[in-house]
Structure formats: structure tokens, C-alpha cells
């Protein structure tokens, strides 16, 4: 599955993307800043981890995308975004490589995944962000997620421990569609 936003192409991961994913997440092996905010990525994040990621079989109801910037020489991988499942339901997750932070790509990619979720018939999504990652909470609130009032423990492979997460949710049902923030042009 593919999805186009004003600046980004969300597409499946291919085997040849493993190195770009590894560099984006591990930033040449020395940056734990992204991995520590993901639940399932280990630290250190190796090229073999990226290779295993691109080989995963996807559930068509829960697509996972690479976030790419289209360009003249092909697209550049700048992150990942997609849907998963946890005990609370269908969950939105995303990451953006550090050198692309602060440009609105996380918000745009997450909003694109919301569009896909809605088209797949999902009516409610959940998301969490670690307490020490308020920037992710800001992205989620910007696209219409609302805090549930719960702080839950979530295991992070990259941290090697459970940490407190703020839980948020969004109602995507057709009756609520007009209440969601509009996509920026």
C-alpha cells in the first residue's frame, strides 16, 4: 500500500531500504535518541535488525510505511509510520530520522496514516508517547489525538525497561470526521 501527502510518499519497505533505515534509526550507530522512544526497536540497532524489519510480513489491515521524500534521484527514506496492534486496540506509531526533525514531517506522516486507517475502516486508534518525549505528544495532539488521562507502563526494547507513557486516542468514526484537524496544504 502507498499513500501520498503534500510532501511525502508513504510506501512499504523493500530489502534495499535496510541500510537507510539503519542509518535513520541508529544515526551511524551512535544515537539512541530515536530507539529509546520506540517500543520494539532494540539498542544497539544493527543493520541485521533493519534487514529483519524489511522482511516482515505485513497485515493488510495494519500497514507499515517508510516515510520518504520524493526527489529527482528517487525517494529518500526519512522515517517510518504505521499501524500496529496492542492490548488497547489499533495503535499509531512513527519515527523520523534526527536530521529531519523540526520540519513537520512527523505530523504530516502521522496524518497520512490516519487517512489510511480511516479508509481501512478503523474507527478508533490509540497512541502513546513516553513522558520524556513531549514532542511526540505535541504531534499526536496536532492531528486530533486526545489524552485518555491514563499514564501506562510500556516496555521499550531500546531502553531495556518499562517506562511511563501518556496514552492518547482518536475517534475516526464517520460521525466524528468533521471534527478532526484539516490537513495542511
At the fourth CATH level, the homologous superfamily of domain 3-179 is Gcn5-related N-acetyltransferase (GNAT) (3.40.630.30)
Residues 10, 112: contact at Cβ < 8 Å? yes
Distance CA 15, CA 165 (A): 32
Q: What is the pTM assigned to this prediction?
A: 0.90
CA proximity to 144, closest of 104, 111, 121, 166: 111
* Domain residue limits, the chain: 3-179
pLDDT at 26: 84
Sign of CA dihedral 142, 74, 38, 23: negative
pLDDT tens-digit readout, 131-169: 999 999 999 999 999 999 999 999 988 888 999 999 999
Position 40 confidence tier, pLDDT thresholds 50, 70, 90? confident
Position 29 confidence tier, pLDDT thresholds 50, 70, 90? low
pLDDT tens-digit readout, 170-184: 999 987 655 555 554
Amino acid at each position: 500500500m502507498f499513500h501520498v501527502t503534500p510532501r511525502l510518499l508513504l510506501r512499504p519497505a523493500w530489502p534495499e531500504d535496510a541500510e537507510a533505515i539503519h542509518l535513520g534509526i541508529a544515526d551511524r550507530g551512535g544515537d539512541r535518541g530515536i530507539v529509546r522512544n520506540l517500543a520494539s526497536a532494540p539498542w544497539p540497532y544493527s543493520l541485521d535488525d533493519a534487514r529483519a524489519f524489511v522482511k516482515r510480513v505485513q497485515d493488510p489491515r495494519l500497514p507499515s510505511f517508510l516515510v520518504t521524500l520524493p526527489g529527482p534521484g528517487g525517494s529518500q527514506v526519512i522515517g517510518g509510520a504505521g499501524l500496529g496492534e496492542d492490548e488497547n486496540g489499533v495503535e499509531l506509531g512513527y519515527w523520523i530520522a534526527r536530521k529531519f526533525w523540526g520540519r513537520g514531517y512527523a505530523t504530516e506522516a502521522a496524518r497520512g496514516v490516519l487517512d489510511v486507517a480511516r479508509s481501512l475502516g478503523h474507527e478508533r486508534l490509540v497512541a502513546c508517547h513516553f513522558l520524556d518525549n513531549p514532542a511526540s505528544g505535541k504531534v499526536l495532539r496536532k492531528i486530533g489525538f486526545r489524552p485518555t488521562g491514563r499514564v501506562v507502563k510500556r516496555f521499550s526494547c531500546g531502553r531495556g525497561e518499562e517506562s511511563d507513557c501518556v496514552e492518547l486516542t482518536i475517534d475516526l468514526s464517520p460521525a466524528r470526521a468533521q471534527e478532526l484537524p484539516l490537513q495542511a496544504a
